[in-house]
C-alpha cells in the first residue's frame, strides 16, 4: 500500500472512525478516492475478524458511480493485492431499473454503487457513502428514505463540494447537534497538507470569484439574488444531455444569443421528447465573424428538425436576424429585442421550465453551470425588474440567454407537432403556426405584450 500517497487531510478523514462523519472538500482534492479507501479497509478488517460488511455508494449519476468503483474500490483492492469479483447488473426498484456496479470481496463483504435517488436509498440495509451529496437531485427525499435504513447501527459517510444552501448537505454541515464528525478541506488547507496545486493559477483560470469561492474555498454562496440557484441547476442536469448523437428526430428549438467582440455567441438546441426539452447541442463561439456564425447556424438548422429559432435582435443582432429570416423564413425565425421587460419574460419562462423539471441540460460542465448561475435579478430606480451578470472568461450569462431563448421558442410553437414530409421548412412552420398559443405539451403559462416583444 506504500505506493499510494496520502495527504494530511486525507489521513485525518481516513482515521476518523465516527459512525456519522461528513466532509466538505474543495474540487479535485481526492474526497471519493480517500472515502472508498476507507470502505475497502473496513471490509478487509471485517474479513480478518471473520465477519462481513455491506456498503452502498450512492453517487450523483451512473458515471460517478462507475468512477467510484473503477477509480476507487477496484484500484484500492489491486493496491492491496486482494482478489475481488466485479459485477454489473440492472437493479430493479419500485421507481424503475438502475445500473448497479458491485464488487464482492473475500470473506463475503460486498460494495455496490448506484445512482442516488429515493428508490435506491431505501433499497438496502447497509453502510452508506453519499458521494457529492450536495449535487444529488431531491437530496432531502433521498435523506428521508435513507436514514431509517442505516438506523440499525450502520455507518454513514457524506462528502461533497458545496452547492449553495438549498440542499440537505448544507443542513448537515451546519447542524449544531454535535452528532456529526465534520471535516472541512478548502484548497488552502489541501495545499498546506501537501497537495500539488498552483492556487493563483487555478484562481486566474476559473475567472469567476463566486465559482472560486464555492468550488475551491468551500464557502456557502448567498443564493438570494441568483435567478437560477445551483441546486435548481443541478436538478435538471443529466449525463445524457448535450450529446448530438442522442437526437431522436423530434421537433427542435434553437435559441441564439449573438455577440461578435467580447461576449460569447451561443446557439442552444433543445429537442422535445414527450413533455421534456432535452439539450442536444450547445455551440459556443468567441470573436467569430458573422460569416462563421451564419455557417454554424446553417449547420444546426440542417442537422435538426427546427420548428422555431429565437434570436437576440438587440444591437448587432439586427442583421443576423434579418439574414436568418431570409434563409429560414419568417414563420421559423423570430428576433427578440432585449429590453428589460422582454428579458424578464424570457427569464421567467426559462426558470419555470427549470422548476417544473421539464428540461435536461449537460452535467459536469463548470463553465456552463457558472454562466447559468451568474444571472442576478435586481430592480431599477423605478422598481422595475432588471437582470445583470458580470462578464468574465466564461461569458456574460450568454449561455443562459441562449437557453432562455430556446425555451421561449418552444413555448411559442403550435402543438402538438409532427413533422411533415416536405423540404419547405417555412411552409411547414406556416402550417403549424398558431399565434398566441402556448405549447400544451410543455405546459408554460406565459402572458406577454406582443407589441413590446416584437418591438413594433
Confidence of residue 395 (pLDDT cuts 50, 70, 90): low
Question: Quick one: average pLDDT of 379-405?
Answer: 72
CA gap 415, 412 in Å, rounded? 9
391 pLDDT tier (thresholds 50, 70, 90)? low
Per-residue pLDDT tens digits for 122-147: 878 899 999 999 988 888 899 999 98
Q: Can you list the alpha helix ranges (DSSP code H) found in 304-424?
A: 318-328, 340-355, 366-373, 398-412
- The whole-number pLDDT of residue 329 equals 94
For the purposes of burial, counting CB atoms within 10 Å of the CB of 449, is it exposed (0-12), middle (13-18) or buried (19 or more)? exposed
Q: Looking at residue 32, what is its pLDDT?
A: 95
Q: Model confidence over 298-307: pLDDT tens digits?
A: 999 999 999 9
Q: Which domains occur in the chain, in start order?
A: 8-210 (3.40.50.300), 230-454 (3.30.420.240)
What is the reported pLDDT for 383? 58
CB 57 within 8 A of CB 21: no
**Residue 79 pLDDT greater than 90, yes or no:** yes
d(CA 301, CA 309): 9
Instruction: Tell which residue, 254, 266, 236, 278, has the closest CA to residue 413.
Output: 254
Q: How confident is the model at residue 420 (pLDDT cuts 50, 70, 90)?
A: very low
pLDDT value of position 437? 34
pLDDT digits (tens, 9 = 90+) for 428-448: 444 444 333 333 334 433 323
**Across 234-252, average pLDDT:** 94
Question: Is the per-residue pLDDT at 392 higher than 60?
Answer: no
* Residues 57 and 113: beta-carbon distance below 8 Å: yes
Q: Which residue has the cell 442536469?
A: 237
Q: Give tens-digit pLDDT for 318-359.
A: 999 999 999 999 999 999 999 888 998 999 999 999 999 999
Confidence band, pLDDT 50/70/90 cuts, at residue 455: very low
Q: What is the mean pLDDT of the chain?
A: 85
What is the pLDDT, as a whole number, of residue 413?
67
Strand partners, 308: 253
Question: Is pLDDT of 291 > 80?
Answer: yes
- Quote the pLDDT of residue 412: 81
Residue 251: left if φ>0, alpha if ψ -120 to 50, beta else—which one?
beta
Lowest mean pLDDT among 9-23, 89-103, 263-277, 323-337: 89-103
Does the pLDDT at position 450 exceed 50? no
Give the residue among 352, 351, 349, 305 at the shortest CA–CA distance from 328.
305
Q: Is 246 helix (H, G, I), strand (E, B) or coil?
A: helix
User: Binning pLDDT at 50, 70 and 90, where does residue 92 land?
Assistant: confident
| H-only helix segments in 262-314 | 290-303
pLDDT value of residue 64: 92
Give the number of other Cβ atoms within 10 Å of residue 236's Cβ.
22
Q: Is the pLDDT of residue 250 over 90?
A: yes
Q: Which residues contact 353 (CB under 8 A, 6 or more apart)?
A: 277, 359, 407, 442, 444
Beta-strand pair 376-379/54-59: unpaired
Q: What is the mean pLDDT of residues 284-308?
A: 95
pLDDT band for position 449 (cuts 50, 70, 90):
very low
The DSSP element (H or E) to which 175 belongs, if any, is: none
Amino acid at each position: 500500500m506504500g505506493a499510494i500517497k496520502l495527504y494530511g487531510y486525507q489521513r485525518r478523514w481516513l482515521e476518523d472512525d465516527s459512525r456519522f462523519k461528513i466532509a466538505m472538500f474543495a474540487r479535485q482534492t481526492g474526497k471519493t478516492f480517500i472515502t472508498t479507501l476507507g470502505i475497502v479497509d473496513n471490509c478487509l478488517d471485517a474479513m480478518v475478524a471473520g465477519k462481513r460488511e455491506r456498503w452502498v455508494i450512492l453517487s450523483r449519476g451512473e458515471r460517478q458511480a462507475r468512477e467510484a468503483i473503477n477509480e476507487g474500490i477496484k484500484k484500492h483492492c489491486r493496491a492491496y493485492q486482494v482478489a475481488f469479483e466485479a459485477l454489473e447488473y440492472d437493479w430493479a426498484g419500485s421507481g424503475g431499473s438502475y445500473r448497479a456496479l458491485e464488487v464482492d470481496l473475500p470473506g463475503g463483504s460486498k460494495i455496490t454503487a448506484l445512482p442516488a435517488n429515493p428508490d435506491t436509498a431505501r433499497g438496502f440495509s447497509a453502510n452508506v457513502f453519499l458521494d457529492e451529496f450536495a449535487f444529488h437531485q431531491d437530496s432531502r427525499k433521498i435523506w428521508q428514505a435513507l436514514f431509517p435504513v442505516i438506523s440499525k447501527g450502520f455507518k454513514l459517510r457524506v462528502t461533497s463540494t458545496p452547492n449553495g444552501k438549498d440542499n440537505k448537505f448544507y443542513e448537515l454541515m451546519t447542524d449544531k447537534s454535535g452528532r456529526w464528525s465534520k471535516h472541512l478541506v478548502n484548497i488552502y488547507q489541501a495545499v498546506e497538507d501537501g497537495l500539488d496545486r498552483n492556487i493563483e493559477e487555478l484562481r486566474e483560470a476559473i475567472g469567476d470569484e463566486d465559482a472560486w469561492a464555492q468550488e475551491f474555498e468551500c464557502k456557502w454562496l448567498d443564493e438570494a439574488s441568483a435567478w437560477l440557484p445551483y441546486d435548481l441547476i443541478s436538478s435538471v442536469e443529466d449525463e445524457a444531455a448535450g450529446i448530438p448523437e442522442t437526437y431522436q428526430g423530434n421537433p427542435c428549438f434553437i435559441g441564439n444569443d449573438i455577440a461578435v467582440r467580447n461576449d460569447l455567441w451561443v446557439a442552444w438546441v433543445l429537442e422535445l421528447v414527450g413533455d421534456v426539452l432535452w439539450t442536444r447541442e450547445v455551440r459556443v463561439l468567441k470573436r467569430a465573424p458573422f460569416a462563421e456564425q451564419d455557417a454554424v447556424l446553417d449547420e444546426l438548422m440542417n442537422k435538426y428538425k427546427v420548428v422555431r429559432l429565437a434570436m437576440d435582435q438587440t444591437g448587432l443582432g439586427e442583421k443576423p436576424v434579418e439574414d436568418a429570416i431570409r434563409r429560414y423564413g419568417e414563420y421559423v425565425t423570430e428576433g427578440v429585442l432585449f429590453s428589460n421587460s422582454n428579458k424578464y419574460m424570457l427569464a421567467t419562462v426559462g426558470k419555470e421550465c427549470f422548476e417544473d423539471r421539464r428540461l435536461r441540460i449537460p452535467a459536469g460542465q463548470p463553465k456552463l453551470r457558472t454562466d447559468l448561475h451568474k444571472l442576478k435579478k435586481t430592480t431599477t430606480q423605478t422598481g422595475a425588474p432588471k437582470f445583470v451578470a458580470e462578464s468574465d472568461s466564461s461569458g456574460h450569462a450568454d449561455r443562459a440567454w441562449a437557453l432562455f431563448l430556446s425555451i421561449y421558442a418552444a413555448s411559442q410553437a403550435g402543438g402538438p407537432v409532427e413533422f411533415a414530409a416536405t423540404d419547405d421548412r417555412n411552409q411547414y412552420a406556416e402550417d403549424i403556426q398558431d399565434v398566441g398559443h402556448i405549447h400544451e405539451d410543455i405546459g408554460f403559462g406565459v402572458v406577454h405584450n406582443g407589441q413590446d416583444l416584437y418591438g413594433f
